[in-house]
Amino acid sequence: MMRGLMLLGAALFAAGCMEVEQTSGASAKTPGLSVKRDTPAWNNEPLAHGPKWIKGDRASWEGEIKNRQLTQNEDHRINP
Amino acid sequence: MARMKFLCDAERCIECNGCVTACKNENEVPWGVNRRRVVTINDGVVGAEKSISVACMHCSDAPCMAVCPVDCFYRTDDGVVLHDKDLCIGCGYCFYACPFGAPQFPQAGAFGLRGKMDKCTFCAGGPEPDRSEAEFKKYGRNRLSEGKLPACAEMCSTKALLGGDGDVISDIYRERVARRGNKGAEAWGWGSAYGQPPKGKS
């Protein structure tokens, strides 16, 4: 009897470990629920020490990113 | 319009795992989750050993997006595939669908209980406000919003891993391959990976 109660207690204790926070699992396909809209990268202020672009100007941000990409070509960095 | 992609040069990758470390450090990725990893084939076979760094490839027609039952994935204007962890239910369908094994699931409780999916974000954060603490905690650092490229590609010491607009990085790679010459399968080694020295120089 006692052993059975102990086993039951242990099982209930172990089941408690499974308790995790549950957030809404409602489908995004449900009307009114959808992914949050992300802010485009170019709509951010450039950092004080980093690449500079005009906030909101996609072309200037893409220009900065392209310059950054081209630095990956070490053949051009070594033999400019 | 940019289409952000990764490209890994198997001739140059030296399996240093610098990209893996850079990713883990930059995004403070928890134990057990590897957004990026280096895969090696023919390990130890001289001339046949090849390594490649693999993460989410930000597919243009992403299977993870297609199979997600809660539609938590979205694609940014730069072509980066991201997901909303507030909607993810951790079902694992995306893991089965992804040919690269990119989706990762942290252990969220006892007995191997899975948490919400985590994957490479191309260092573009997530749907939370850019550069916010909430975004960093859930998705890692948002380097694109700082005008920078993913940490893994920028840290790569041999420049085997290239990251950026598909057109730009494929041009870099194409130029590199042309420099190597058309050697076929026997092409391997330092001279092959870094091109032949110009004539007249040793």
Residue B201 lies inside a defined structural domain of this protein: no
What does the pLDDT read at residue A28? 44
Taking the C-alpha atoms of A61, A63, A68 and A70 in order, what is their torsion angle to the nearest 10 degrees?
160
Q: Are B13 and B52 in contact (CB under 8 A)?
A: yes
What does the pLDDT read at residue B147? 96
Residue A33 lies inside a defined structural domain of this protein: no
CA-based nearest residue in chain A for residue B90? A25
CATH number at residue B63: 3.30.70.20
Q: Are B116 and A62 in contact (CB under 8 A)?
A: no
Decide if pLDDT at B33 tops 60.
Answer: yes
Residues of A in contact with B169 (CB under 8 A): 69, 72
**Cβ–Cβ of A47/B146 closer than 8 Å?**
yes
- Domain assignment of residue A72, given as a range: 40-80
pLDDT 10s digits, A38-60: 889 999 999 999 999 999 999 99
CA-based nearest residue in chain A for residue B111? A18
CA-based nearest residue in chain A for residue B194? A75
Residue A6 neighbours by CB distance under 10 Å: 10
Decide if pLDDT at B202 tops 60.
Answer: no
Residue A48 lies inside a defined structural domain of this protein: yes
What does the pLDDT read at residue B25? 96
How far away is chain B from the Cα of A9, in angstroms, using its nearest Cα?
Answer: 17
What does the pLDDT read at residue B184? 54
Q: How many domains does chain B have?
A: 1
Decide if pLDDT at B182 tops 90.
Answer: no
Residue B199 lies inside a defined structural domain of this protein: no
Residue B200 lies inside a defined structural domain of this protein: no
Q: Which of A8-12, B40-44, B181-185 has the highest mean pLDDT?
A: B40-44
What does the pLDDT read at residue B178? 81
Look at strands B81-83 and B4-8 and give their pairing. Answer: unpaired
Tell me the residues of A at the B interface, defined by beta carbons under 8 Å apart: 14, 17-20, 23-29, 33-41, 43-44, 46-47, 50-53, 58, 61-62, 64-66, 68-70, 72-75
**CA dist B131 to A9, A47, A60, B142, Å?**
47, 11, 20, 6
What does the pLDDT read at residue A19? 52
Residue A12 lies inside a defined structural domain of this protein: no
pLDDT-based confidence at A8, cuts 50/70/90?
confident
Mutate to test the interface with A, among B64, B128, B148, B170 (most CBs of A within 10 A): B148
Token pair listed for A77: 């960095």
Decide if pLDDT at A20 tops 60.
Answer: no
**Which residues on neighbouring strands pair with residue B50, listed in sequence order?**
B41
Cβ neighbors of B80 (< 8 A, separation 6 or more) are B4, B58, B121, B122, B124, B144
Q: How many domains does chain A have?
A: 1
- Pairs across A and B, CB distance < 8 A: 123
Minimal Cβ distance to A36: which of B127, B162, B168:
B127
- Domain assignment of residue B36, given as a range: 4-194
pLDDT 10s digits, B61-107: 899 999 999 989 999 989 999 999 999 999 999 999 999 999 999 98
pLDDT-based confidence at A32, cuts 50/70/90?
low
pLDDT-based confidence at B41, cuts 50/70/90?
very high
**Cβ–Cβ of A38/B146 closer than 8 Å?**
no
How far away is chain B from the Cα of A36, in angstroms, using its nearest Cα?
Answer: 6
pTM across the whole model: 0.83
What does the pLDDT read at residue A18? 58
Would you say the C-alpha torsion B117, B59, A54, B151 has a positive or negative sign?
A: positive
**Cβ–Cβ of B147/A33 closer than 8 Å?**
no
Please provide the DSSP assignment of B15-66 as one string.
---HHHHHHHHHHTPPTT--SSEEEEESTT-TTT-EEEEE-----TT-HHHH
What does the pLDDT read at residue A24? 41
What does the pLDDT read at residue A23? 42
